Structure 1
């Protein structure tokens, strides 16, 4: 067992029982204060831990890091050191903040330099994303979309159960939680017998996804197997992969989504490591037909992560519209990474790969408004009495995720994004 995952560990930092960030989590992110520049942080409870300060104060001796790895505006330099180094770093943090250890806790002057109240810091984009791939790996979602736009008998396309379908997305428009987005504009074709029109998207949708971030991969021309995949994945975050449904419907033939997806994808600011998620592995679905040998995997590679989505209309309270789970994925991360590299494609430190919309079998678990409102035919009622077929201007969409096992709750915090009107 990874030492930092010990469920019996307690921190000398006070942690609420319902917190996403007990000592067993120790995620990584980028933050800044009013007095200081961006740097690497971790979190326990409602305290953000300044890793640059810990390095300067001498608490990271004998670890393979330099100050430049922490005094930076992205996690990439830290991830460049590889999995064994980040595992060591997390274990060191676990030791420093264990209530049984007083090396740091007994030095009040150091504690003041290291800890910040979470409501006094600004969380920034955690990773400099070089390339972004979006998969389409939830059978529930793919079935729903196929049913809506084709017919139930042919909901899944012939290749869907043979390969983890994916496409190359836009990395530059991936943004952190709390950064508002503008409603996108583009061409739409409301009527089949009329020319297209241009204007603001009328069918703006969220997509509930999880994303994983990679370490450096192998050189161009080499592949990563499903067995090796765990050594190349750093951690995960929640992603709202916004979608302009009406723009997408007109543009996606023959090359797939373009403007309908590239305007924004929002992520939660804390990257939860695969080490921290190790206790929450679970079995995946039976894959039928049997996958080709390069997609076979041996150990459990799916994860039991509870997910939810809420909509907050302006000047109103939140309505939870979706409760789903990452375990509903048909294709797991190991298979996605193995497929991504089987042709020799090289991945680089900081690449991001998203799951695709996550939907279960029950309507309450559908991960998009397209499915929840069944293409607008079944509007959702908000607590303020208003209805939603799709996302309206000034709505805020909030996504959350957490795991529970052995009395330990590990969470991701939330990704919250407000929609502003188009210019």
Structure 2
């Protein structure tokens, strides 16, 4: 029996009680044009979701709940899907990592360390004796940057990368549904690679404070007692209780107790209604190795999609496990030798996903059950 949190009525109510992102109609038109272009060229399209989702605590949001995800898995995977010939709808957390620019925006070096001023001799000998004034890439970084630049320009020229930002869990879900509906025309050529870290809980709109929730009295306000009452009322509306704290903070200190509702589980809706012909892959991140496989199989059985990719927080960059209805398959990065760069695990994950997508399409075309 489907849990109450995943009931279809809850899913429908969620959309009915939340506001859609601004310009959703315009976004839908752009998505349809993108999908139609690649469908006409016989190119497969993958939706890659990436980054975390925020849970606002106020309508005029100052405070929100977040998670650690920077979008590394999604941005890196998107590049490998593009190399494999897919067009990519990159549904990403605003300001998280992006394909190609991630090489420089998420580096231990400042981006400016990759550059030099022509005519000025740098610490690595770059430059030449001229008045110049032009900005150039330093010699040691030129080959890598040229390779990244060419891949980025190819994606731009072929229009194979569609960037679609979101911030909140609500905007993510509205956009996910819209992308899925627009991609239905692709049928078996559609792939969903759900690498985003989606929030499990939210504050319902009717319990959300309108303004910033205050942490104490407002000194100097015309009616401090009234202001404090307003603050307490706002906290109560949001499902939060302001409590006096007798700890070292003193009598004016506050505890904030947040009462969150579970986000309905939309994966079942995606599998059965929004994208019934697509291959759908979800990710499962855990910190306890003793429950990882159990949670992966539980998700697979509950939502009946094609594949769960499980990973542990501590080893997610070095190993993952593919869990489907037949077997568990571990994929591990080989140990780098001295002087070699560490292999990105996404360079192993994506080709295996593509192979499985190939098999699934072949089985459907042959009228066989997909493996």
Structure of higher CA gyration radius: 2
TM-score of the aligned structures, taking structure 2 as reference length: 0.25
Report which of the two has the higher share of strand.
1
Question: Structure 1 length as normaliser, TM-score?
Answer: 0.23
Greater relative contact order (CA < 8 Å, ≥ 6 in sequence)? 1
